[in-house]
Amino acid sequence: MRIVIVDDEPLARARLGALLRECAGAEVVASVGDGEAALTACVQTNPDLLLLDVAMPGLDGIGVARRLAALPQRPQLVFCTAYEEHALAAYELRAADYLLKPVRIERLRDALARAEALRQRAATPQATLLVQMHGAPVRIPLGEISHLSADDKYVTVHREGGDALTEQSLKAIEDAFPNRFVRVHRGCLIPVERLLGLRRDVDGTVRALIAGCEATPEVSRRNLPAVRKWLRSG
């Protein structure tokens, strides 16, 4: 995996470079100190992944991610920062992972594996789901789906381009696309690459965090052990 390191602190760049030398298949093709230099490096090296700091002078990491989001084939993004409060913005930009400094080698390896899986999936022909939009049948790529929720009659397909309906049940979708969805509740499926973690509310309710989506579906007690197991396994 071809990687660009982006951090305004030279010591942080050096440390990430040292950690990456211990990660099989990782190749650092550029190491830069600001957002504009990161964009230039992307043009010059065509990387697979950016390890991207958030707080930088000038164009910050979030700004870099927004610029890259317009590209048809952008590199994967893993944010490396000392600040937890930027996590939501990072996930809305479909970051593969969000690492807090000081970055541990185990978490870095997990993030690289997640980014590589997303990259491989993006490079293969996308599976589609048949839905109804404005009364007409349409096929949408699974990669556009943030989650699926079921009521008594229909399944709602939630996506950035607007919600749609499908007459297929959640069980039928699970069977048609094995290992592509995680069931967090009897009435909710989340694509595996979108499930980022869990949050516990003050009332004890556990909710799922979804990349690129503000919704936080409840995770049922019955499904919680399986969801936690999946998150641990990556």
pLDDT band at residue 234 under the 50/70/90 scheme: low
Question: CATH: 3.40.50.2300, 3.30.450.150, 3.90.1150.10, 3.40.50.300. Which one for 2-123?
Answer: 3.40.50.2300
- The pLDDT, as a whole number, for residue 72 is 61
CATH fold label, 128-233: OB fold (Dihydrolipoamide Acetyltransferase, E2P) (2.40.50)
pLDDT digits (tens, 9 = 90+) for 127-182: 889 898 878 888 998 988 999 999 878 899 999 888 999 989 999 999 999 889 99
Q: Where in the chain is the domain with CATH 2.40.50.1020?
A: 128-233
To the nearest whole percent, how much of the chain has pLDDT over 70?
A: 95
Q: Where in the chain is the domain with CATH 3.40.50.2300?
A: 2-123
**Of the given ranges (31-40, 148-157, 216-225), which has the lowest mean pLDDT?**
148-157
Cβ proximity of 208 and 217 under 8 Å: yes
Backbone angles phi, psi at 92, to 5 degrees: -65, -25
- The pLDDT, as a whole number, for residue 70 is 66
- The pLDDT, as a whole number, for residue 123 is 67
| Residue 169 per-residue DSSP state | -
H or E element that contains 70? none
Backbone angles phi, psi at 74, to 5 degrees: -85, 155
Q: Mean pLDDT in the chain?
A: 90
* Cα separation, 39 vs 138, whole angstroms: 36
Report CA-CA distances (Å) from 105 to 5, 59, 99: 15, 27, 11
